[in-house]
Amino acid sequence: MVAKKKIFLSPPHLSGLEQEFINDAFINNWVAPAGNNIDTFEEDLQAYLNKHVYVVALNSGTSAIHLALKELGVSEDDEVLCQSFTFSASVNPVVYLGAKPIFIDSEPDTWNICPELLEKAIKHRIENYRKPKAIIAVHLYGMPYKVDEINKIAKFYDIPVIEDAAEALGSYYKGKPCGGFTEMGVYSFNGNKIITTSAGGALIVSTERQKDRIIFLSNQAKDEAVHYEHTEIGYNYRMSNVLAGIGRGQLKVLQERVESRRKHYDFYKENLKILGEFAFLKEPSYCKSNRWLTCMITKSFQMREHIRKALADENIESRPLWKPMHMQPVFKHALSFTNGVSENLFEKGLCLPSGSNLSSDDLERIVLTISKAVK
């Protein structure tokens, strides 16, 4: 039997516009972590954010979080509050700096960091003379977290927020693009994200001084001198000018990519809800999610696994929702503030193929496979 065409969860989707910018880098021999594509990609992202912010293109979203924490002064034995329901890259950089993550569970409306638990955690740590150094909040699956509520708490206790918008480029909260709501915002352009540079990321900061600092740290912390002089430890985190060319081409089709993924969500919801078994994350009226991945909540762990295996048998990739960080073996000693929300989502939730290049035949095949599995 011939294997059926593989359907991936969230593959890259090139537009054809990338090639011209890549060629430009080759022709001008700026095949380096410097050049016109990087400068222009940063300007394009700044224009997209439509706000007085500064963008630094880096080699990953993880590096962006690392440098954000470093710039906020997080160091050994500091504590950082982090959304538990996320990908490990949100929190790993806390550990790179020798600091300690403390995990905060989600609220059920957006599946993101719960304001009540966040405040409870802050009070608890302050009572123990350990005021947290930063908060990492995540717009998971592209759904904006409760920005106003979180910012209000953060402001009251005077703790900076890193906005992990790695999955939320193209999402809006109260009419404004995700990524620019706090001291530091993070995008990822990894191959599975809504637009890609194959690997890449960006850090959004508020001042030119911060931007200069981030570029300095991301480019090996070279002091001004004719030789290489260093008074600080640097990193090799800058984006390549070739990859920034891919980013320029991808950014031009961002809105189309968002609309495709939103249509896929609508299609799944429309065609699967008749089975009566599944729930989908609703969009609050004041939000527009990029619907990076469509997530389906089933009735039980057994049902989720049954469907996942049925899809796999048809060569269709799906994946359980993120396993919360407070349940991860590597973080078993970390303090956490939980309410059962993310554990329940992890147990019953499945991410469905959501790439913007899915065809209607692909979508029909996926829905048919799920329908057959639950009958």
Ligand X SMILES: *Cc1c(COP(=O)(O)O)cnc(C)c1O
Q: Where in the sequence numbering do the catalytic residues fall?
A: 193
Closest contact distance (angstroms) between CB of 111 and ligand X is 12
CA 41/CA 35 separation, integer angstroms: 10
Report, in Å, the least distance between residue 164 CB and ligand X.
Answer: 5
Return the amino acid letter for 249.
G
What's the closest the beta carbon of residue 286 comes to ligand X, in angstroms?
Answer: 22
**63 or 298: whose CB is closer to ligand X?**
63
Nearest residue to ligand X, by Cβ distance, number only? 61
Instruction: Tell me how far apart the alpha carbons of residues 270 and 280 are, in angstroms, rounded to a whole number.
Output: 10
Distance from C-alpha of 114 to C-alpha of 107, rounded to nearest angstrom: 5
Q: Which CB sits closer to ligand X, 125 or 324? A: 324
Instruction: Report the residue number, 69 or 272, with the smaller CB distance to ligand X.
Output: 69
Of 265 and 278, the one with the shorter C-beta distance to ligand X is 265
Separation between Cα atoms, residue 351 and residue 331, nearest integer Å: 24
Which residue in 247, 356, 365, 359 sits closest to 11, CA to CA?
356
- Identity of the residue, 205 or 370, whose beta carbon is nearer to ligand X in the bound complex: 205
Closer to ligand X by CB, 78 or 164: give it. 164
E-strand spans in the chain?
54-58, 79-83, 100-104, 134-138, 161-164, 172-173, 176-177, 184-188, 201-205, 279-280, 287-288, 294-297, 319-320, 336-337, 349-352
- DSSP letter for 172, please: E
What gap in Å lies between CA 72 and CA 97, rounded to an integer?
Answer: 12
Which candidate, 241, 222, 374, 244, places its Cα nearest to that of 309?
Answer: 374
- Alpha helix stretches (DSSP H) within 297-340: 301-313
Select from 51, 30, 43, 59 the least CA-distant residue to 215. 59
Distance between CA atoms of residues 301 and 19, nearest Å: 44
Minimum Å gap between C-beta 163 and ligand X is 11
Rounded distance, CA 367 to CA 373, Å?
Answer: 10
Q: Which spans of this chain sit near ligand X (rule: CB under 6 A)?
A: 60-62, 86-87, 89-90, 138, 164, 166-167, 188, 190, 201
What's the closest the beta carbon of residue 186 comes to ligand X, in angstroms? 7
CB of 13 vs ligand X, minimal distance in Å: 16
